[in-house]
Structure 1
Amino acid sequence: MLEEAEEIGRRVRRARLRLGIPQADLASALGRSQGWVSKMERGLIELDRVGLLNHVAAELHIHPNDLIGRPYNSSPDENRWQVAASSILRELRRYDLTPVFDGPPRPAQQLWREVTRLHRLRDTASNVAILHVLPDLFREARALVEVSEGHEREEAYAIYAVCCKFAHTAAHALGHPELVAMACERAAWSARLSADPVLPAVADWMRVWDMWATADWADALTLSDKAITSVQQAYEHGEPLAVRAWGTLQLRAAVSAARAGRASEAEDRIGYAKDAAEHMGAYAGAPVYDRHSLTFSAGNVQIHAISVAMELGQQGRALEMNRRTGLALVASLPHSRQGHHHMDVARAWLWDGNRDKALAELETAERIAPQLVRNHPIARSTLRSIVYAERGVTRAKLRSMSDRFHLDG
């Protein structure tokens, strides 16, 4: 990992030279100095924000994963997930062909129970396990489409769309851009056929995530608003799934605005999401199954507010918000969201100059969601920064002691 920053810098330099872009021009496009770009290309500066990483990649016209070398090199056992990813891609490519499925498919109600298993895996950030479950579920959902009609057929399309969302989330976490893109396309296709009034907005929510990879912040905000408008009426009527989707879309828009440097809009969006969380909390009807697997709650709004502060470079504010956030509120969130939160707090402490607390937060994140954290570029960047700083301190102490011992004399 200590060589990873240097390799990223070399990739940046090769991509820049391939396009014939001078350092000064890249610096101007990034709003940085030429010296900053020079240090970054030598591996002396970390790309320690997703927005910054994606901006650099977009200016060089490459995918962020190609810049940072994802999927990361690991053991053969840890790479087995790519076999499952290939099986999912095969199913998604043949989306409009009769599926290869033996025997009659189970009814939609039973398949939704299988989807509940995926919810649990998502909550624990078990992305590899998600990919292993999905190929058979995709096939069976498509088989149900072929043999059913009416509402049952629409539900089969809804199950297929939600499976696309799970594939999309896992592929993002593990670094598989082809699966990310195809899952997003198929989700939009199947959502339109599902007759679920909220699912198309969920598919747009996925597309917004993909727009971040190319630093298209303005388009991400425009698409968020399009999706928000599509569920606005249902949100105002208090329909639980629409409220959840509306609030989640506002959180996605808040992050997009923060990465675009639009601090005021980011704060407004967080405020709207808080309103949605209160709206959801006021619901007094029967429990509603979260069929779309959208994690939304007051706790999720709070940790997004902290994440937005970090995207805006406001680590002091992020730490203050974290201090005011109850431990129980964070602990109530799925492990996947807790992992992201502790990674954000680790960065905040690092930027604030406290490496011990940064490392403690990173260790907490890894303990809660190991697959997520070990495969996350910002977690790796944070750890590298801590290690480099510790090495620097050790070298300084050794030089001082060497001087006292007159070892050079």
Structure 2
Amino acid sequence: MLEEAEEIGRRARRARLRLGMTQADLAAALGKTQGWVSKMERGHIELDRVGLLNLLASELHVHPNDLIGRPYNSSPAENQWQVAAAAITREMRRYDLAPVFDGTPRPARQLWQETTRLHRLRDAAANVAILEVLPDLLRETRALAEIANGHEREEAFAIYAVCCKFAHTSAHALGHPELVAMACERAAWSARQSADPVLPAVADWMRVWDMWATADWDDAIALSDKAIRSVQEGYDLGEPLAVRAWGSLQLRAAISAARGGHRAEARDRVDYARTAADRMTEYAGPPVYDRHSTTFSPGNVQIHAISVALEMHEQGKALSINRRTSPNVIESLPNSRRGHHHMDLARAWLWDGNRDKSLKELEKAELIAPQLVRNHPIARSTLRSIVYAERATTREKLRRMSDRFHLDG
């Protein structure tokens, strides 16, 4: 794993030299010192914040995955998800051609039932399984849109957009930038053809995520606000799906603001999202199916508040928020979100100087969502930091003991 850190540094150095950029120039662009850049390029500094990794990649005009070597090398069996990803990409690439589908596609109500399986897999952070399900479902949904009319056709496009969202989430988690970009584009295309008033905002929510890869923090906030305005009327009326989207977009804006250095705005956005979560708990109508799969909840707001604090390097505040958060709120979250949460806590404890607690949190994260955590650059960075620190401590202990034993005498 320590060799991985050195390779990231070498990739950064090669990218910098290709641009004819000096270490001092890169340091100025990043708001760092030339010494920091030198250490980073030698693998002595971890890129332990997504915002920092994305900013570095943006300044070097490469994709963040190109710096960190994602998708990561693994066994042939673990790489089989790329076969499914290629099939999904082919389906999305031919989106405006007549679908190749034998037989008669099922009606929209049955295809919506198929998406409930995707919800369960997403909650379990089973991203590989999601990709394996999607090619056939995308093909059938597109076939339904081709032969249906009226509301049935609009619902087919809505299902297609939601399937694109699942592909987008899984591709992000596994590190497939081509599928990420295509899924986002196709979600926006199909959302516009659905009659769902909230779905275009959900597609924008996806696009905000993609803007993070190029460190376009202010554009990400502007797009979040555009999407928020599009569902504002529904939010004001208390429509549950609009409230979920509105709150989720505020959390997107909060992360964007934190990474862009807008501390006050980041905190305000979290507060806005908390207000939306409170409105959800006050809802007294019939159960609402979260067809957009936004997973917005009071617990989700809390773990985003912790993420925001960490993006602003306020690990003490992040740990304080966690202490004030009821364990029941966290336990009610899906595995995908709980895995992220414990990964964040591992980072917070590491920065706070407690490697033992950091490792325990990282172990919890891996146990809850192994696919997610093993493929996440921040989890890998955190583990590398722990390993390096443990080795350094052991070396120092051995040196002192060697001195006491006069082994060099």
Length-normalised TM-score, structure 1:
1.00
> How many corresponding residue pairs?
409
Structure-1 separation of matches of 2:72 and 2:244: 34
1:176 aligns with 2:176: yes
The 5 Å alignment of 1:148-167 reads: 148-167=148-167
Structure 1: distance between partners of 2:152 and 2:181: 28
1:24-61 deviations in whole A, cap 9, x for unaligned? 00000000000000000000000000000000000000
Helix, strand or coil for the counterpart of 2:182? helix
Distance 1:320 1:287 in 2: 34
The alpha-carbon deviation at position 147 of structure 1 amounts to 1.3
**One-letter amino acid of the counterpart of residue 188, structure 2:** A
The residue type equivalent to 2:176 in the other structure is H
Aligned AA (2:401): M
| Residue 381 (1) aligns with residue 349 (2) | no
Instruction: Report the alpha carbon displacement of residue 98 of structure 1 after superposing the two structures with TM.
Output: 1.0
The corresponding residue for 2:198 is 198
| AA at the equivalent of 2:163 | C
The SS at the match of 2:2 is coil
Q: Tell me what 1:246 maps to.
A: 246
Q: Which consecutive unaligned segments of at least 5 residues does structure 2 have?
A: none
Deviation digits for residues 143-193 of structure 1 (CA, Å, limit 9, x no counterpart): 101111000000000000000000000000000000000000000000000
Separation in 2, partners of 1:213, 1:144: 34
**Distance across 2 between alignment mates of 1:253 and 1:261:** 12
* Cα displacement (A) at 1:359: 0.1
* Aligned-partner Cα distance in 2 for 1:72–1:19: 26
Deviation, 1:77, is: 0.2
Q: Answer yes or no: is 1:107 the counterpart of 2:107.
A: yes
- Find the counterpart in structure 2 of residue 77 from structure 1: 77
The ranges of structure 1 where at least 4 consecutive aligned residues each deviate by more than 4 angstroms after the TM superposition are none
1:167-316 alignment runs, 5 A limit: 167-316=167-316
CA distance, structure 2, for counterparts of residue 276 and residue 405 of structure 1? 65
Distance 2:328 2:384 in 1: 30
Post-superposition shift, 1:327?
A: 1.1
Q: Secondary structure at the match of 1:77?
A: coil
What is the identity percentage for the equivalent residue pairs of Structure 1 and Structure 2? 79
Amino acid at match of 2:3: E
Instruction: Look up the match of 1:26.
Output: 26
The TM-score normalised by the length of structure 2 is 1.00
Letter in 1 for 2:316: G
Are 1:47 and 2:52 counterparts? no
Distance 2:349 2:279 in 1: 33
Q: Which amino acid aligns with 1:30?
A: L
Amino acid at match of 2:389: A
RMSD: 0.4
Mark the runs of 5 or more structure 1 residues left unpaired by the alignment.
none
Once the two structures are TM-superposed, the CA of residue 195 in structure 1 deviates from its matched residue by 1.0
